[in-house]
Amino acid sequence: MAATINNLLFSFVLLLGAVFLLVSPASCNENLLEKCGIKTIYQLGDSISDTGNLVRENPQVVCARRPYGQYFFMNATGRCSDGLLIIDFFTISAALPFLEAYLNPNPRSLDSGMNFAVAGATALPAHTLAEKSISSPVTNSSLDKQLDWMFTYFNGSVCNTTDCLNKLNNTLFMVGEIGGNDYNYALFRGKSLEEVTLLVPDVVQAIKEAATRVIGYGARRIVVPGNFPIGCFPSYLTLFQTTDSAAYDELHCLKELNNLAIYHNQHLQQTLEELKMEYPDVVIVYGDYFSAYMWILQNVHSLGFDAATAQKACCGLGGEYDFSASRICGTPGVPVCANPLERISWDGIHSTHKANGFMASWIIQDILPKFQCSYP
């Protein structure tokens, strides 16, 4: 009976994904990743892509309870959104089931991939951040630990068969998004932008080492996403609010915070070019999450979002942007907006189901030409 229910859910997900993405210019409803031959996906990262690992470490976190998941799931799954994440829409495009969280007991589907991402995770280990007087308060499952999990998983479940190489040739490895929390924790604890900017080379080096390890595991197609325009997020717009109009750009995003993300992304892209030279037989693609998010902000009307509330949290309370660090989404008394489909931000930090779908569509269209697909 459980298998039947799971199969019905999977079929429903594919149908819903097709219907939802039909309105998107990127047309992921055509199963573009499936046509490209992607049969397996492995995910490393943080809350942007965690499908349930943090809630196994700490069942009390807010993403473990309603209203998280309310748009799509009957119960909260640990996804930090009202519905699906970017990686969920990737699996729909590949005609795969949603990725199981690695820490789930008895994962349902091993052949289609695995999710090692943990909400709150950092690129740098906690002890390295501590040496810089930065705490990692949510989890110690940083990128290096996730890679250890992947190594253990591969040794026990994937690469002990003769068709391992064939599987990896049809596999997509998502190395991130990761690194955003390294900067978040530093900024939220009073570090200056100049101090945080000094973290960028170390964070990018950790991501490079992760990509190198993944290549060592046999990866042949890798996407390494960059950071988002954090200066456009309700959390940052609230915490760094200023009366200086010159601090904001034409989309009312904080310029200096976006410049930090741009600096990280430029450094990351340069590092990926170096990796491509070292591994010419591996397809290494930069995931431009920054541009995908900005595209949504620049097209709020045509995409069906409400321009008046585009930079307000849907689930939140307080101030101009409906966000308060002391009363976050999921805590008692914090309301949810009447129509989440009009909002880009779910809780001030993470995006809504609808925004995630549009970003996934944009990103898939952007990365596919670089994937060297062999269409049937």
Among 227, 230, 242, residue whose Cα is nearest residue 311: 230
**Residue 114 bridge partners (DSSP):** 42
Q: Which two tokens stand for residue 278?
A: 């070292």
348-to-52, 185, 240 alpha-carbon distances in Å = 20, 15, 13
40 with 172: CB under 8 angstroms? yes
Query: Residue 145: left (phi > 0), alpha (psi -120 to 50), or beta?
Result: alpha
Identify whether 47 is a catalytic site residue. Answer: yes
Type of residue found at 335: P
- Sort residue 106 into left (φ over 0), alpha (ψ -120 to 50) or beta: left
β-strand partners of 345: 313, 351
Q: Is 327 exposed, middle or buried (0-12, 13-18, 19+ CB in 10 A)?
A: middle
Nearest to 209 by CA among 128, 288, 143, 115: 143
Residue 127 annotated to the active site: no
**Order of strands, edge to edge, in the sheet holding 221-225?**
113-115, 40-44, 171-175, 221-225, 283-287
Active-site entry in 49, 88, 235, 350? 350
- Give the tokens for residue 167: 């599987």
Q: Indicate the residue type of 36.
A: C
Give the active site residue among 347, 351, 353, 361: 347
- 141, 57 in Cβ contact below 8 A? yes
Catalytic residue among 24, 47, 81, 324: 47
Tell which residue, 64, 97, 214, has the closest CA to residue 153.
214
267 is catalytic: no
Active site residues: 47, 347, 350
